[in-house]
């Protein structure tokens, strides 16, 4: 979220993550209810924050040490 609008390219993957989290519950790989709601709500909150962000800070990259 702290990357603001620079993170908009990640939104489709975050939406896929929400789908996967809910699918894990359906496959009995993760408990439903409050635990799943917390993690889904966290990702959905990040998506919402990114969608309305107006700041576009520079992205950092991590390069391997030489």
Rounded CA-CA distance 10/4 in Å is: 11
Tokens 């409050």 locate to: 34
For 21, other C-beta atoms within 10 Å of its C-beta total 17
pLDDT of residue 6: 82
Q: What is the pTM of this model?
A: 0.79
Could you read off the pLDDT of 9-62 as tens digits, one per residue? 899 999 999 999 999 999 999 999 999 999 999 999 999 999 998 887 776 676
Nearest Cα residue to 36 out of 47, 26, 25: 25
Given CA atoms 39, 43, 44, 45 in this order, what sign does their dihedral have?
Answer: positive
pLDDT of residue 7: 86
Residue spans per domain, the chain: 4-52
């Amino acid at each position: 979220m702290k990357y603001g609008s620079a993170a908009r390219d990640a939104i489709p993957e975050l939406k896929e993550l929400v789908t996967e989290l809910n699918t894990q519950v359906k496959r009995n790989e993760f408990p439903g209810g409050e635990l799943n709601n917390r993690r889904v709500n966290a990702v959905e909150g990040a998506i919402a924050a990114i969608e309305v962000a107006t700041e576009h800070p520079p992205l950092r990259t991590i390069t391997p040490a030489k």
